Amino acid sequence: MEKNKKFLGIMFECCNVYRRIYINKGGNAYEGRCPKCFGEIKVTIGPDGTDKRIFRAR
């Protein structure tokens, strides 16, 4: 894995587990799945975004 690859920290509340998600190949969103139930998450990147790096997903 690339050493300085950008990521977001996600607490998947569905299964109470933390995981990092990474920028997709298009560079327009962070995408990932819960490692237990495989629920999908997509966080789009936009000009009015936030500097936060850790989120909760339900």
Task: Quickly state the pLDDT bin for 2 (edges 50, 70, 90).
Answer: low
1 domain residue, yes or no = no
Report in angstroms the alpha-carbon separations of 43 from 24, 55: 10, 10
Residue 20: how many CA atoms within 13 Å on its side-chain side?
Answer: 6
52 domain residue, yes or no = yes
15 domain residue, yes or no = yes
> The domain containing residue 23 runs over which residues?
7-57
C-beta neighbour count of 32 within 10 angstroms: 20
39 domain residue, yes or no = yes
28 domain residue, yes or no = yes
46 domain residue, yes or no = yes
2 domain residue, yes or no = no
Q: How many residues does the chain have?
A: 58
Domain total of the chain: 1
Tell me what pLDDT residue 5 has. 85
Tell me what pLDDT residue 35 has. 96
